Amino acid sequence: MAEKPEFPVVQGGGSLIIAWQIRDKKVLVVGGGEVAAGRILHCLNADARVTVVSPLARLNPEVAYRVAQGQVTHIDRNFQPSDLDDSSIAMVLVAVDDPAASTTIWKLCKERRIPANIADVPSECDFYFGSVHRDGPLQIMVSTNGKGPRLAAMIRRFIAKQLPSDAGRAIETIGQLRVKLRQIAPRQEDGPKRMAWMTKVSEAYSWDEMCDLSEEDMDNLLRYYPSGKVPSLDGLKGMRANPEVGQLDVFDGSFGFSVGA
């Protein structure tokens, strides 16, 4: 009898957690209260173009501030079906204290195939907003699939406390190094080697050490890429004063060029 393969067990009932790129895309927010303020901030952090539909008198202080600062476009009235006629709308976020009106907007979005989120009504949501921890390029979202938002916030705070305080800066450094690496090894067939080498780099240095890497350090580190090696931190720092340190160990001649040249 053949052995049972050890594959992951399917756990139905979840959501597909993805990072939705909405930079420069239009998001329509219906409502101007506290919940709407949180939704708006999420979208602005993602560089979306936000339009808020709500009577001016119903805007809470934060939303009113976003309007006054020109961070969002404001339509001073209640929602109208014609607000959805704009074909450039990427998503609709509804946060009003009117269940009947919310359901009507939800149905209109379905007719137009526009992804929508109706606050506090999981059954009328194409996607959920989780509790998010943000540290520069690092984003961690905790979702309970709409079942326990407050619990999600508690779990998010617990996770955040376990992270290094400089995690965001370290990730920023890794990102800069990846960009530089793609410049010297841009071919698609270089992909596996790039990934393998970046894995070695990520495992070789601590968070604090990664944060301390200067532009010069990254350029010197890239000199080791052709050989697939990663120097010790002391060896890398030694190259600050003498770039020729470790020269004999860096190149194996197979590439025929010097990355540091």
Structure tokens at 236: 């890398």
Rg (CA), the chain: 25
> Are the C-beta atoms of 199 and 236 separated by less than 8 Å?
no
Structure tokens at 258: 């010097």
Which CATH code fits 130-163? 3.30.160
Residue 95's alpha-carbon distances to 40, 80, 216, in angstroms, are: 11, 15, 49
Cβ count within 10 A of residue 105: 25
Residue with tokens 């995690």: 167
Of 108 and 206, the one with more pLDDT: 108
**Interatomic CA distance for residues 225 and 250, integer angstroms:** 8
Q: Range with the lowest mean pLDDT among 112-116, 131-135, 146-150, 212-216? A: 146-150
**For 180-207, how does the pLDDT look when each residue is reduced to its tens digit (9 = 90+)?**
999 999 999 999 999 999 999 999 998 8
Mean pLDDT of the chain: 89
> Are the C-beta atoms of 87 and 24 separated by less than 8 Å?
no
Using the Cα atoms of residue 177, residue 183, residue 187 and residue 190 in order, give the sign of their dihedral. Answer: negative
Annotated catalytic residues are: 120
**Interatomic CA distance for residues 68 and 115, integer angstroms:** 28
DSSP symbols for 191-209: HHHHHHHHHHHHHHS-HHH
Which CATH code fits 26-129? 3.40.50.720
Beta bridge partners of 29: 52, 93
**For 214-230, how does the pLDDT look when each residue is reduced to its tens digit (9 = 90+)?**
899 999 999 999 999 99
Q: Does 88 score more than 50 pLDDT?
A: yes
Strands 89-94 and 26-30: parallel
Q: Is the pTM of this model over 0.85?
A: no
Say which DSSP state 133 is in: E
Residue 117's alpha-carbon distances to 36, 125, 168, in angstroms, are: 11, 4, 29
Structure tokens at 20: 């939705």
User: Any idea where the domains of the chain sit in the sequence?
Assistant: 26-129, 130-163, 167-250
Can you tell me the mean pLDDT for 9-30? 93
| Neighbouring residues of 70: CB distance < 8 A, sequence distance ≥ 6 | none
Q: Does an H or E element contain 215, and which? A: helix 215-222
